[in-house]
Structure 1
Amino acid sequence: MIDPSLMTDLARLDFAWITSMHIIYPPLTIGLAAFLFFSEWRWLKTNDDEWYRLTRFFEKLFIINFGAGVATGITMEMSFGILFAPFSQAAGPFFGNILGYETITAFMYEAGFIGLMIFGWGKIGKKMHLFATFNVAFSSMLSAMWILVANSWMQTPTGVHLEKGLFLVDNWTHAIFNPNFLTAFPHMLIACFEIGLFFVASISALMVYKNRHAKMFMRTLTASIMALVIVAPLQVYMGDTLGRTVAKYDPAALAAMEGHWHTYNADGSPNTSWNVIAWPNEEKGTNDFQIAIPHVLSLLEDHKWVSTVPGLDQFKKADRPPVVVPFYSFRIMAAAGAALMLVAFWALFLRLRGQFTAEKLQRHPWFLRTVIFSSTLPYIAIWTGWWTREVARQPWLINGLMRTSEGVSQMSIGAEIVWFIGFMFFDLLVWFGAWYFFSKLIRKGPDMNTKVIHGVTPEPMHLGDMPNEEVPEGKPLFERPTL
């Protein structure tokens, strides 16, 4: 007899691995595509060849990341049917259609223009090539939009009703623009810009640190890090907005993220203390250890000094999400976001003081080292943010409508383990391949020898392509040139 809870846990663990290995690629694709559009626009605007060489260098890194994202995305699409067949069947009328829209309106759109962007240098006009790069960036954002529509609907399922085991759509507008999507998509999109900007900034800082084309890479370092002065604080703001959405529509998830067990204090007053750090004990329904600050939880969730924030004691034990993972992953995500914001402000401080040049940064390299190290933080933030989002929704697959245990495929333990090992091997193979080629290209650096393409390269004319002109009678077809 197969233990249903074991099957559920294995399926969740398998899918957690698949999504964690996939999600490191699409956000960078989106953020890097947007930066490529900016750098190519700078080349057209200034006619500065260094911007051309920088664009071509980062474009190669983009191609590697894009390929890895496509490969791991295929395994994730497969895993829906393999690991969660009942869910895929029941949610197909909405969830399946949304993934289909993503393929048709975003992925195929992106695939068409990415060919022009990669192979169009010298074959199409400069403005047309810039247009292709813009469409790659825009279509990648459109892809993220559809994915967030599908995932956010699982958080706040609106616009549907359950009939004969199927979630049928009553109102497409309500289902697509569900409450969670309206704040989750901007939060994720800004995270994509942030990871792309820090990717560019960290590689540029490495080149400046090693004094390899330092003055040229100061262009991308300055552009990316100054953009982060706006993007990083905006991400913190959108995180707060999304937190308030979660508090309104899924208070159990918010309580798990905050390790908030008890709604009221011993004296009957609302418990609005915020746990800076704690060790949740799910069996006892309390924290074994905690350091809390009064009133801060209310300020964070309601922007009030005192308010009632529901604790986990307001929900049945069977409906409570796990606490340890969302509690700590949420704090790691928030800490990473705050650290990224501080790095951006440090850069702004240096620039205002006139210290943001290659020579001065090389004499005081701690900033460059910090930026290089900080390239890991956006990945940590995206990972932990996604874990917070997915684990805090448990035990629901579709919040309040379908439990995870109801959506798991019925297969043997052995089959589940085989799929897990297969997915793990494939994803690790892609990961090692991607980082091997990343490091190889970064070590090689930008191509400084190839001639810059300023216009459309004419195709070579073959003999059969020559115009069919009549030759006057008595005149030879070819004449010997006069010396």
Structure 2
Amino acid sequence: MQPDPLSILISRIDFGLISSVHILFPPLTIGLAIILFGFELAWFRTNDERWYRLCRFFEKLFIVNFGAGVATGVTMEMAFGILYGPFSQAAGPFFGQVLGYETITAFMYEAGFIGLMIFGWGKISRKMHLFATFNVALSSTLSAMWILVANSWMQTPSGVEFKNGMFQVTNWLQALLNPNVFAAFPHMLLAAVELSLCFVVAVCAWFVFKRREVQLFARPLRYTLVALAAVAAVQIYMGDVLGENVLEHKPAALAAMEGQYDTYDENGNVNNAWNVIGWPNKDNTGLAWSIKIPHALSLIETKTWNGAVEGLNSFPEDERPPVILPFYTFRAMAAIGGAILLVALWGCWLSWRGRMTEGLASANRLFLMACTGMVVLPYIAVIAGWWTREIGRQPWIVYGMMRVEDGMSKLSVGLATFWLIGFAIFETAVVLGTIYFLLKVCRNGPDLTSPVAGDGDEHLGELDLPSSAGHADHPEYIRPV
């Protein structure tokens, strides 16, 4: 018995909301942990107090975001069981194992070192604290890797057989190293770093714009703009690599992303134009209108002038994904990627001209406003990219093997609505609370007055232990926080 169509729609909206909110937080956790390690490494090597102050300030923002990511992540795992019970049971032999690996090798690993990173200042040595920060960054990246392994398997399932309603793993190596993961994981990791660099750029630009602590924020603003320009450029290339992977393994998804209905024109010739914008006709058999660039789609996807890109009309009607959402979310993601690169290059040009020094940076009012406002763009791009990926897989929950309606729980309309309202209230509260506390930390600004944390042995000196003799007179002694 299939679930009620209205119940399916409500549950899909519910899970779309939950996953869209959750994906706002892990990218910043991953990328900001890497940036924090970079800041702390700079402090460790130079002993410049400004890097320490930046670490402590951005660490507060990291903690707020990390908490929101954990809360929405737990909610998402609940939603799998509630809304997609048959899928969770069927995919358990693979999906459950991978999430277990993520818990052991990433989540528990991260939980141990994040305590040292947050509470270890002045209690452990600077070298050990740097090691803890490195491991938080590494474990966050490992977490993303395992999640992308699981999701990529849903996009390009391999190494399994679907027998008696269960996915039986026949080859673990093939399942883990499925065709999509090699392009999807680097693309997502770069997205996390790019979002985090935009976040740091926006925060630094806001302080410089307000002429608050310019001596602290002007330098990291210059450095992160250079890093952002490099990462944004590489991300555009990785997006192209992922597009070629989708063309090979999920051609229907690529056809929906590009609004490509017919492989050949009425004369039997290949002329795969790239549709800049367009709208499907009422029968969903072609575009009612479009603005297109001849041959561009062939050049982008096949790197040839007349390479064939399979159209949606080549696939059975009940196996075609929707067009409007993936078509425009893909373009939104690509446009935002280009805009971020242009702003970063603008900043690099200003730096090259010597206009981003501590004394002159605040005068670039328009640029600083653009940097601050840009903070919303990578979040939109991440959601748009996720929608492109997930909606493009429709009508499959496991591509070519299990349809969405077969993996959904058989909820009544009333119960599905109950869960939608409940999850929506919770997710809204998390988002608003996170924004409030992030803004509060920024309004309060960095702490520039508390003593700089010293090594753990110096902390012991405050307890008047015998091993601390002589520390108070040491010229490099700094009283820890």
Report the TM-score range of the alignment, normalised by the length of the smaller protein.
Answer: over 0.9
Q: Indicate how the Cα distance of structure 1 residues 343 and 304 shifts in structure 2: closer, same or farther if over 3 A, else same.
A: same
SS of structure 2 residue aligned to 1:162: strand
1:458 aligned partner: 460
- Which ranges of structure 1 fall in alignment gaps of 5 or more residues? 468-483
C-alpha deviation, 1:222, in angstroms: 1.4
SS of structure 2 residue aligned to 1:183: helix
The answer as to 2:114 corresponding to 1:122 is no
Instruction: Write out aligned runs for 1:30-49 (5 A).
Output: 30-49=30-49
2:348 aligned partner: 348
C-alpha deviation, 1:459, in angstroms: 6.7
Q: Percent identity?
A: 55
| Conserved? CA contact 2:37–2:134, under 8 Å | yes
Instruction: After superposition, give the CA deviation of every residue in 1:219-251 in whole Å (9 maximum; x if it has no partner).
Output: 221121111121000000000000000001000
1:322 aligned partner: 322
Instruction: After superposition, give the CA deviation of every residue in 1:133-184 in whole Å (9 maximum; x if it has no partner).
Output: 0000000000000000000000000000112211011111110111110100
Tell me the distance in 1 between the aligned counterparts of 2:262 and 2:268: 11
Moved over 4 A (4+): 459-462
Residues paired across the two proteins, number: 465
2:69 aligned partner: 69
| Conserved? CA contact 2:218–2:361, under 8 Å | no
The answer as to 2:268 corresponding to 1:268 is yes
Instruction: Write out aligned runs for 1:373-392 (5 A).
Output: 373-392=373-392
Give the aligned CA root-mean-square deviation in angstroms: 1.5
The answer as to 2:197 corresponding to 1:190 is no
| Conserved? CA contact 2:219–2:358, under 8 Å | no
SS of structure 1 residue aligned to 2:167: strand
Instruction: Write out aligned runs for 1:223-372 (5 A).
Output: 223-281=223-281, 283-372=283-372
SS of structure 2 residue aligned to 1:168: strand
| Conserved? CA contact 1:21–1:427, under 8 Å | yes
Tell me the distance in 2 between the aligned counterparts of 1:256 and 1:409: 27
Instruction: After superposition, give the CA deviation of every residue in 1:188-229 in whole Å (9 maximum; x if it has no partner).
Output: 000000011110110000000000001210122112111112
The answer as to 2:104 corresponding to 1:104 is yes
C-alpha deviation, 1:358, in angstroms: 3.4
SS of structure 2 residue aligned to 1:278: strand
SS of structure 2 residue aligned to 1:306: coil
Instruction: After superposition, give the CA deviation of every residue in 1:356-406 in whole Å (9 maximum; x if it has no partner).
Output: 223323223111111111111110110000000000100000000000010
Tell me the distance in 1 between the aligned counterparts of 2:78 and 2:363: 51
Tell me the distance in 2 between the aligned counterparts of 1:310 and 1:27: 33
| Conserved? CA contact 1:361–1:367, under 8 Å | no
Tell me the distance in 1 between the aligned counterparts of 2:365 and 2:419: 47
C-alpha deviation, 1:461, in angstroms: 4.4
2:148 aligned partner: 148
SS of structure 1 residue aligned to 2:272: coil
- Which ranges of structure 2 fall in alignment gaps of 5 or more residues? 468-481
Tell me the distance in 2 between the aligned counterparts of 1:279 and 1:368: 37
Tell me the distance in 2 between the aligned counterparts of 1:116 and 1:107: 15
The TM-score, its normalising length taken from structure 1, stands at: 0.94
| Conserved? CA contact 1:110–1:140, under 8 Å | yes
| Conserved? CA contact 2:263–2:311, under 8 Å | yes
Q: Indicate how the Cα distance of structure 1 residues 302 and 2 shifts in structure 2: closer, same or farther if over 3 A, else same.
A: closer
Instruction: After superposition, give the CA deviation of every residue in 1:270-307 in whole Å (9 maximum; x if it has no partner).
Output: 13111000012362411111001111000111111111
Tell me the distance in 2 between the aligned counterparts of 1:437 and 1:230: 30
Tell me the distance in 2 between the aligned counterparts of 1:105 and 1:364: 45
Tell me the distance in 2 between the aligned counterparts of 1:317 and 1:359: 63
| Conserved? CA contact 1:205–1:221, under 8 Å | yes
Task: Answer with 1 or 2: which has the greater Rg.
Answer: 1
Tell me the distance in 1 between the aligned counterparts of 2:3 and 2:189: 40
